[in-house]
Amino acid sequence: MLALAVFAVAFLYSSVGHAGASGYIAVMTLFGLAPAIVKPTALALNILVAMIASWQFRRAGHFSWKLFWPFALASIPFAFLGGYLNLPTRVFKIVVGAVLLASAARFLFDPPEETAGTPPSRAKSFGVGAGLGLLSGLTGTGGGIFLTPLGIFLRWGGTKTIAAVSAAFILVNSMSGLIGHLSKTKSFPGVAWSLALAALAGGAAGSYLGSARLPHTAIKRLLAVVLAIAGFKLIFA
């Protein structure tokens, strides 16, 4: 049952260029796994699904290196910082969760029009990347849950381009987070290996549909579901 739940999360999230960290954490917690197992397992599954989603969206011609690299370069050290800080983040998470729920409502009921988009300036990209990296570390996500709606609302690129960039953004932040975790704990949970196949299958199917089959409007509706799940998790976890 846990493997089926992981497959469903990977399928849904990867269809919009995400990897599913918040979903994996939720289902593993519901199944009673210890926090020491949940965090590295979620990060490992995130890496697998983000790798597949990045490859699928890139293969379909949606990835933009020019848009991606400033976000990624600035985010990695700040993701480390966010993960290192031990702040009273309850109110912070409620505010962020409310923002995600508002974004979900917008995508569900009034999705933004599709445009080719204009990338932000280099300075703005570095600033946004640093801020999203910090949010990623503080909230335990890969950061794409924030980058995707922001990129679409501010028209930095088309929906699938933003999804492709978000998948790669999640990949580098999740790898950074897992390396930091392993350097501290020196251990890796065995359950991650048993769930990897379910995550790979779900990620492959979902990212293929999102990159090559689903129309832009459908991706925005699915994104609304993903944002709602993440928002509820931040508020009520």
Burial classification of residue 88, based on how many CB atoms lie within 10 Å of its CB (0-12 exposed, 13-18 middle, 19 or more buried): exposed
pLDDT at 86: 59
The whole-number pLDDT of residue 36 equals 80
The predicted pLDDT at position 140 comes to 67
C-alpha distances (whole Å) from 37 to each of 116, 139, 218 are: 42, 17, 34
pLDDT, position 89: 62
Q: Please give the pLDDT value at position 87.
A: 62
Domains contained in the chain, number:
1
Residue among 120, 118, 112 nearest 220 (CA): 112
DSSP characters for 61-100?
A: T---HHHHHHHHHHHHHHHHHHHH-----HHHHHHHHHHH
Q: What is the pLDDT of residue 21?
A: 86
Structural domain span for residue 225: 2-236
- Divide the 237 residues of the chain into consecutive groups of 10 and give the mean pLDDT of each group: 94 93 86 85 92 96 95 90 69 81 87 81 95 81 88 92 95 84 82 94 96 90 91 82
pLDDT at 173: 86
Per-residue pLDDT at 185? 78
In angstroms, the CA 87 to CA 147 distance is: 23
